[in-house]
Amino acid sequence: LFDLPVPGGTRPIGSYGVLFALGLLLGGALFVYRAARAKLDPGRVVAVLALGVAGGLAGAWLLFAIVEAVRTGEPLAALTSGGRVFFGGLLGGVVAFVLAARALRLPAGTLADSGAPALPLGHALGRLGCFLGGCCYGAPSAGPLAVTYTDPSAPAAHPMVPRHPWPLYESAALLVIAALVAVVPSRRLARGAPGTRFALYAVLYGVLRVALEPLRDDPVRGFVLGASTSQIVGAFVALCGVFWLL
């Protein structure tokens, strides 16, 4: 986006980092607002949010490190790049979130419902960063929405062919999911039991990833029995959500 003057030179500020940070900021603000409306203590809610984000970042990097170690055969390969895997972040964030909620004596289910619309909102902004950065790119396409990356620093530019704007597809769908989990009457979900909005999010996003993966061209994530690792994890997340709703 621009070069920031710093002592001794400049530091490039990239669109991916800015949108990633904006997603955290706006998603976190929506989460705290909804939790406050649920009459939960804002100070403790912010503490849970901070610990959940920390766990999410750790999980996102750890799963990326595992993928890179399997792909390259070098356990330390992930140290030389800044990649992250969303599902690792989701799983790591959920674990940290639940542990923090229990430690601070807040109802984890009610908190999770407060964050159910905030998570896909922040994720949608992060995917816009993926699109501008040329990562998480789509499969080759001759359709009217196809885009071609020409900057050699973009992973999607190898090879330099028209591609599906895959991050834009997911970003749009994530905004729809955020709206759905925000407005659906909770009494219609498992009789309004705490945590059911988050379970609905898990079902919708898991199904979304399974459905969208065929339009993605990211073979480094790996495949098992013809399914990508994201499809496998997405199906698992969706099944967990169905189990909770039932």
State the pLDDT confidence band at 90, using cuts at 50, 70 and 90: confident
Structure confidence at residue 44 (pLDDT): 93
Instruction: Find the helix or strand (DSSP H, E) in which 10 lies.
Output: strand 9-13
Amino acid 63: pLDDT: 77
- Mean pLDDT of all residues in 64-80: 67
pTM for this predicted structure: 0.85
Among 37-51, 194-208, 210-224, which is the least confidently predicted range? 210-224
Percentage of the chain exceeding pLDDT 70: 87
Query: What pLDDT sits at residue 233?
Result: 85
pLDDT at residue 77 tops 90: no
Name which of 42, 194, 181, 182 is nearest 107 in CA terms. Answer: 194
Average pLDDT, the chain: 87
Residue 96: Cβ-neighbour burial (10 angstroms; 0-12, 13-18, 19+): buried
- 188 falls in which pLDDT band (50, 70, 90)? low
Interhelix angle 118-133/166-183, rounded to 10 degrees, is: 170
The average pLDDT across 36-63 equals: 89
On whether the CB atoms of residues 162 and 142 are closer than 8 A, the answer is yes
Task: Give how far the C-alpha of residue 106 lies from the chain's centroid of Cα atoms, to the nearest Å.
Answer: 24
Q: At what angle do helices 196-212 and 118-133 cross, to 10 degrees?
A: 30
pLDDT score recorded for residue 225: 64
